[in-house]
Amino acid sequence: MDGGPRYKWIALSNTTLGVLIATMDASIVIISLPAIFHGIGLDPLAAGNIGYLLWMILGYLLVSAVLVVVLGRLGDMFGRVRIYNLGFLIFAVASVALSLDPFTGGGGAMWLILWRVVQAFGGSMITANSAAILTDAFPPGQRGMALGVNQITALAGQFLGLLAGGLLAAVDWRAVFWVSVPLSVAGTVWSYLSLRETASGRRGRIDWLGNVTFAAGAGILLAGITYGIQPYDGGATGWGNPKVLAGLFGGVLLLAVFCVVEVRAAEPMFKLALFRMRAFAAGNLAALLTAIARGGLQFMLIIWLQGIWLPLHGYAFEDTPLWAGIFMLPLTFGFLVAGPLSGYLSDRFGARLFSTTGLVVVACSFVGLLLLPVNFDYTAFALLLLLNGLGQGMFSSPNTSSIMGSVPPEHRGVASGMRSTFQNSGTALSIGVFFSLMVSGLASSLPATLSGGLQANGVPADTAHRVASLPPVSTLFATFLGDNPIRHLLGAETLSGLTAAQRDTLTGSGFFPGLVSGPFHHGLVIVFGVAAGMALISAVASALRGRHRPAGLRQEAAEPLGRAGRG
């Protein structure tokens, strides 16, 4: 069915708004966590509270990673617009509930975590079906442009969320959640009034066993990773925790069972046969590795700016969340420039050229960041961020267009969900991977450096050892609390026993950043080195996607799936 000549632009504008608010809310709490925890009266670094802090971030990502395939499959069965519209409604309700948190302390944190999970469920319904709606609405010759706008908006939303979080947290912690209310309500009304099904839904049976094994396996695996970066039994991380190991192995085992189930299922939720298409398989592998590298970049840049660079340049700790978002704008600008342009050009010249070149550019930017000193010149830093954003924009739009254009129309919903699963899983995995790498880098040198620096400025040895023996992950979180980390870690009682000169030195903007910059740079070298390697592997995968087919001939890509399905 044809939605009419104007319908495609309505679909593009509405789905772009949908993925924008869904991805903004995935990252908006990262920078605003200090204001949120102060607002509900909870110390994020107190014993047992790091779990609240992590789940505030990861709960949303985990749900997004686990459910998008299921919701994309439901879109194929019952109508993509129907599932998409319902997702907008659920997202709006959760946004209202988040802004009205009636509790404080642990109860307030649990309210926010649980409603963030509900919000993520609605956001997953949006993101799982948005690309399929656009693929249905746009002709092949314009599909890359439309998907490019949509995809780059989604990626830019992650970084715009950081800026919005910094701005709104300075006003009121509830404003971080208020901003989603008018946008989601307006988007819900608009989608119900304007969107309509332009592809026939295909009824079928729900693959319950596949749904359960996938959701349980992915959920347990990602939960294990979440607890793996938390300290355990005196260690810097929890990778030796028997429960974490059980979660990791149990999750992998359940995902293996899921693959067996899907091969045998009459109507599987996860179309494994799609991986027989080279463009689909290579595109998703590249997307997964790039998402891991991008997620690591996002978190490391926040810590680098808020914890070290901005204080060293005279910015008050309470102002660093806002300015960190502002100084990261070149990255978002690169996305916004390169994404739609590369999507448009890839329709004419093919996805492989642009996506592969983009990933090489991303790898070069990571190498450049690796070579920067901790106290860098901002011009060089901004140029490298711009380069990274341009490279990711060059990759993301053509890659999405290639993935979605390689599958037949009746499988676009599940293909969109699978693509989002790889991307969202990569973001969640990046936290475990890069936080572990950073913590490992800090654990070798930070305790001695921190203890020696504190004692040199009059802090009693036992107090200095206690602070230095805190898990490195606590020190990492202390860097973006929005408060002076030393004042927070030592406490008022210890500081009151020091001389005025010692207090001024310890709580000055330069002491903590200067103290941890050496160990932190050691960790950065490891993190950005791994990220550069992932980008290069992604470039190789992208180059193997196959040659470009003219838009009118892309339906040939569906033939292997038909043969695979009959097999």
pLDDT below 70 — which residues of the chain? 1-4, 44-48, 144, 199-205, 236, 413, 476, 478-483, 546-567
Considering the domain boundaries, does residue 203 fall inside one? no
**Collapsed DSSP state (helix, strand, coil) of residue 315:** coil
Mark whether 450 and 406 lie in a shared domain. Answer: no
Q: What is the structure's pLDDT at 33? A: 80
DSSP 270: S
Mark whether 360 and 494 lie in a shared domain. Answer: no
Nearest to 358 by CA among 401, 388, 384: 388
Mark whether 111 and 98 lie in a shared domain. Answer: yes
Task: Considering only CA atoms, give the Rg of the chain.
Answer: 24
DSSP 308: I
Rounded Cα distance between 440 and 238, Å, is 12
Burial 202-229 (b: 16+ CB within 10 A, else e): eeeeebebbbebbbbbbbbbbbbbbbbb
Rounded Cα distance between 438 and 527, Å, is 7
What CA–CA distances, in Å, run from 546 to 144, 174, 353, 408, 555?
17, 49, 10, 17, 15
Considering the domain boundaries, does residue 201 fall inside one? no
Nearest to 127 by CA among 43, 60, 179: 60
Considering the domain boundaries, does residue 2 fall inside one? no
Mark whether 250 and 112 lie in a shared domain. Answer: no
Rounded Cα distance between 378 and 375, Å, is 9
Q: How many domains does the chain contain in total?
A: 3
Q: What is the structure's pLDDT at 252? A: 93
Tell me the CATH number at 533. Answer: 1.20.1250.20
Q: What is the structure's pLDDT at 480? A: 61
Q: Which of 250, 268, 286 is the last residue of a domain?
A: 268
Considering the domain boundaries, does residue 200 fall inside one? no
Q: What is the structure's pLDDT at 131? A: 81
Rounded Cα distance between 130 and 397, Å, is 14
Q: What is the structure's pLDDT at 482? A: 61
DSSP 317: G
- Within 328-411, residue ranges assigned H as helices are 329-349, 351-371, 378-405
Considering the domain boundaries, does residue 438 fall inside one? yes
Mark whether 320 and 273 lie in a shared domain. Answer: yes
Considering the domain boundaries, does residue 1 fall inside one? no
Mark whether 244 and 351 lie in a shared domain. Answer: no
Considering the domain boundaries, does residue 275 fall inside one? yes
Give pTM, 2 decimals.
0.79
Mark whether 330 and 384 lie in a shared domain. Answer: yes
Q: Which of 242, 268, 294 is the last residue of a domain?
A: 268
Q: Tokens 């309470």 — which residue?
A: 318
540: exposed, middle or buried (Cβ count in 10 Å: 0-12, 13-18, 19+): middle
Q: Tokens 């504008």 — which residue?
A: 13
Take residue 541 and report the two structure tokens written for it: 């995968």
Mark whether 240 and 379 lie in a shared domain. Answer: no
Mark whether 115 and 264 lie in a shared domain. Answer: no
Range of the domain at 495: 446-519
Cβ–Cβ < 8 Å for 281, 275 = yes
Considering the domain boundaries, does residue 79 fall inside one? yes
Tally of CB atoms within 10 A around 190: 17
Mark whether 450 and 437 lie in a shared domain. Answer: no
Q: Which of 240, 268, 296 is the last residue of a domain?
A: 268
Take residue 32 and report the two structure tokens written for it: 């605003």
What CA–CA distances, in Å, run from 531 to 57, 200, 232?
21, 42, 26
Take residue 13 and report the two structure tokens written for it: 């504008």
243: exposed, middle or buried (Cβ count in 10 Å: 0-12, 13-18, 19+): middle
Mark whether 136 and 15 lie in a shared domain. Answer: yes
Mark whether 304 and 413 lie in a shared domain. Answer: yes
**Collapsed DSSP state (helix, strand, coil) of residue 377:** coil
Nearest to 122 by CA among 40, 213, 219, 23: 23
